[in-house]
Amino acid sequence: MNDFETLTVNDVPDDADILDVRDPYEFDAGHIPGALNIPLDQLPLRIDELDPDTDYFVICRTGGRSARATQYMEMHGYSAVNVAGGCGAWLEADKPLVSETGADPIVR
């Protein structure tokens, strides 16, 4: 049983603070505009970059890494919501993605 909240991509508010926990090459290929990228393996070292008073919507490719990140954040006093289905579901819902590569955004 999960101790944290999970929402679908359609339930994420338009003005949400998005934390993307994928690796940089995945993030650069396609991410939600305005998302902050802190890879899951760097989260313990970089958690102080996050505001404990902000509600973060945590996303990855399919939802596994974001679930682990959400649980970690909640255990350390941060407000986090897991985004079910990840960026794959985001893309399928025809929500906006941008790329840092100059190519059309893709989900990796």
Clarify whether 87 is annotated catalytic: no
Give 69-80 as a DSSP string: HHHHHHHTT-EE
Q: Residue 7, SS3?
A: strand
Catalytic residue among 19, 21, 60, 80: 60
Question: Residues 12, 86: contact at Cβ < 8 Å?
Answer: no
Give me the long-range contacts of 40-45 (CB less than 8 A, separation at least 24): 40/65, 40/68, 40/69, 43/69, 43/72, 43/73, 44/72
Active site residue ranges: 60
